[in-house]
Structure 1
Amino acid sequence: MPMALSWSMRRQLLYYIVAGVACLIILVAGWKTFFTHTPTCNDGLKNGTELGVDCGGSCALICQAQARAPVVSWARAFKTDTGLYTAAAYIENSNPGAGARAVRYSFQLFDDKNVLVIEREGVADLPNMVLVPIVESNITVGNRVVARTLFSFADEPEWSRVPEKKPSVVISNQELEQDGSRISATLTNNSLENIKQLVVIAVLFDAQGIARGASKSTVSTIAKKSSQPVVFTWPTGVPNIVRAEITVVPAL
C-alpha cells in the first residue's frame, strides 16, 4: 500500500504547487505583454499595418521612405529700404493630405561675387497646401547689394497626415494699388471659433510671373463669424506689378 504523506511533506508539496502556479501566471502575463500586445503608433515597434517603426499604415506619421522632400519653387530677396531686404520663397508640398511641424530653414543672401552677405534662420510649419510661402523681413545688409538668394531646410521634415478641412478664412475684396505700394483685402472667419495668430502673406508678381515683392502680417485675432481688413504696404512702391497673391498660412 502506498505510504501516507506526512504533514510536513504535504505542506512542502503545497508550497511547490503554489509557487508553480505563481510562476505560470507570471510567464503567461509576460508572454501576453511582449508577444501579444495591441500594436500602437508609439510603441517603438514595427507592427500592425505599419510600413516602418511607428509610421505608415494606420499611423498619422508618414515614413521617410514614402515621403517626398519639399521642393523650393523659387527664392528671392527684395530691397525694401536702404540696407534692408525681405526674403521670400515658395515651397512645394508634394505630400497630398500631409503637413510638417516646426521645420527649421535658412535664407542665404549672396552678392554679385557669390560671397555670402547674411544668413537668416527661422522655423515654419508646412501645412497641407500645394504651395507654402515663407517670408523673412527686415534683413539688414549694411552697404552690401544682394544678387542671389538660396533657401534650404536644416531638418528633414517629419510629415504627418492632416485631416482635410474646408478653408475657415476666406479672402475677398482684394485691391492692389497701380504703383505696387499697397494691397488690401478682407479676411472673413467662417468658423465657430476665434482664430488667433493668423499668418497672412502677400507676394507681388510682374507680367512674366516673377516675384518682385513680399510681405508678411500676423493677425492677432479674428473673432468667429466676423471679418476684418488686412493691409500690406511698400513705402517706395514696386513698379510693373500686374497681380498679387495673398495666402493664409494655417498653423498645424
Structure 2
Amino acid sequence: MEQRTQKQLIIGFIFVLIVSGIGYGFVDYFLITEATCFDNTKNGQEEGVDCGLLACGVACEPAIMPLNIQSQKLIEIEPGDYDFVSRVNNPNSFFGAILARYSLVLSAEDGTSFNKTGTFYMLPGQTRYLIVSGIRSNSVLNDGVLNITEVEWGKVEEFENISFPIQSKNYAVIDKNGTFSEFEAIILNNSDFDFDKVEVGVVLFGEDNNIVAADKTDIRTFISRTERYFKVSWPVKLPANIARQDIEVLTNVFENSNFIKRYGTQERFQKYY
C-alpha cells in the first residue's frame, strides 16, 4: 500500500472517531437524561422514582395496592336501628394502613341519605371486619355503601406476633325485664405487651351463613398474660338461630401510646417508616 494511501486511511479513521465522539456527546447531552436518584422524579435508567439497581443501586419497592372491600352489608336489627358490617383486605405484604379514613353512605327508601365517617388501621396482608353499629334513622334504610377515602401507609420493618385467643364464649336470648340477645366471652392477652386499648368485634351468622347482627366494644388497660371479660347485646331477640360467631380482637400497633409504659420506657411492637 502506498504511503499516500496509508496516510489518507489514518486521517479518515481519525475523522470518523472525531465525528462519532461529537455525535455521542450531542445525544448524551441533549437526548439522554442522566439518572438522578434524589430528585423525586423517574428519569434516566431508573426503574421507578429514584430507584432501580442499574441506575441507583437500590431496588424499587413494590407498588402499593389499594385496600380491597370484599363484602358489605346493612342489617336492620329493629325499626330505626341498624348495624353495618364490611370485610376489608390489605393486599400489601409490607405496607400497613397506619390510618385509613372511610365514609359510609346510608340511603333511605324516601330518597334521602346521610354519611357516617370514621377511621381504622390494618397490618400488612390483614383481612378484618369494619363494623359500624347502633345506626339510628327515622327513615327506613335500604342500602349502605362504604368508601375508603384516604389511607396513610407505612412500611412495616418487623413486628412480633400478638394474639388474643378466646377462652370461652356464649350466646343467649335473655327474657328478663324484656327480651334481648347477648353475647359474652373471655379473652386472653397472649402477648408480652400491655395495651391501653383493645377493640373487639362480634359478627353473628344464621344457619344460612348470612350475617344477622354485629357489634363492637373496647377493653381498656389489657395487661399481658391476663384474661378479660366482655359482653355485647342487642335489644331484641335476633330473628334466626345463631350458627356461628366470629370474634375479632384487634389493637392499634401503629400508635405507640397504645403500649403501656413499663419501667419508665415505652414498649415498641413494630418498626416502620
Structure 2-normalised TM-score? 0.64
- For residues 94-173 of structure 1, the aligned pairs below 5 Å read 94-112=91-109, 115-128=111-124, 130-142=126-138, 144-156=139-151, 158=153, 160-161=155-156, 163-173=158-168
Name the structure 1 match of 2:171. Answer: 176
- The one-letter code sitting in structure 2 at the alignment partner of 1:202 is V
Cα deviation for residue 164 of structure 1 reads: 4.4
Contact 1:93 1:131 in 2 (8 A): yes
Give 3-state SS (helix, strand or coil) of 1:155's partner.
strand
Stretches of structure 1 that go unaligned for 5 or more consecutive residues are: 1-38
Which one-letter code corresponds to 1:175 in the other structure? N
Question: CA shift at 1:53, angstroms?
Answer: 4.6
For residues 251 and 47 of structure 2, the distance between their equivalents in structure 1, rounded to whole angstroms, comes to 29
Letter in 1 for 2:197: Q
Shift of 1:204: 0.9
Is the Cα–Cα contact under 8 Å of residues 127 and 249 in structure 1 kept in the other structure? no
Q: Which of 1 and 2 has higher RCO (CA within 8 Å, sep 6+)?
A: 1
Which of structure 1's runs of 4+ aligned residues deviate more than 6 A?
54-59
Tell me how far apart the structure 2 counterparts of residues 224 and 200 of structure 1 sit (CA, whole Å).
17
**Structure 1 counterpart of 2:104, one-letter code:** F
Q: CA separation in 2, counterparts of 1:99 and 1:117?
A: 32
Q: Once the two structures are superposed, what CA deviation does each residue of 1:98-129 show, in whole Å capped at 9, x if it has no partner?
A: 3111111011111246x343210111112235
Q: Among all aligned residue pairs of Structure 1 and Structure 2, give the percentage whose two residues are the same amino acid.
A: 21
**Alpha-carbon offset, residue 45 of structure 1:** 7.5
Match runs of 1:145-224 below 5 Å: 145-156=140-151, 158=153, 160-161=155-156, 163-177=158-172, 181-224=181-224
- CA distance in 2 between counterparts of 1:178 and 1:54 reads 60
Change in 2 beyond 3 A, CA 1:62/1:160: farther
Instruction: Look up the SS of the partner of 1:181 in the other structure.
Output: strand
Distance 1:248 1:83, change over 3 A: same
The letter for the 2-side match of 1:75 is Q
Kindly state the Cα deviation for residue 245 of structure 1 after the two structures are TM-superposed: 0.2
Deviation digits for residues 181-216 of structure 1 (CA, Å, limit 9, x no counterpart): 122211111223311111110111122322221111
TM normalised by structure 1 equals: 0.69
Q: Retained in 2: the 8 A contact 1:94–1:130?
A: yes
Count residues with an aligned counterpart: 207
> Which residue of the partner structure matches residue 6 of structure 1?
none
Q: Is 1:76 equivalent to 2:77 in the alignment?
A: no
Is the 8 Å Cα contact of residues 128 and 162 (structure 1) preserved in structure 2?
Answer: no
1:176 and 1:167 mapped to 2: Cα distance?
26
Q: Distance in 2 between matches of 1:81 and 1:73?
A: 26
2:48 and 2:199 map into 1 onto residues whose CA distance is 34
SS of corresponding position for 1:90: strand
1:34 paired residue number = none
Alpha-carbon RMSD across the aligned residues, in angstroms, is: 3.4
What code does the residue aligned with 1:221 have?
Answer: T
Between the aligned partners of 2:52 and 2:166, the Cα distance in structure 1 is 35
Q: Is the 8 A contact 1:98 1:162 kept in 2?
A: no
Give the Cα–Cα distance (whole angstroms) in 2 for the partners of residues 148 and 173 of structure 1.
35
| TM superposition shift of 1:161 | 3.0
Mean alpha-carbon deviation: is it higher for 123-132 or for 170-179?
A: 170-179
Give 1:130's aligned amino acid: Q
Q: 1:198 to 1:52 in 2, by over 3 A?
A: farther
Task: Report deviation, 1:156.
Answer: 4.6
Cα distance in 2, alignment partners of residues 229 and 175 from structure 1: 12
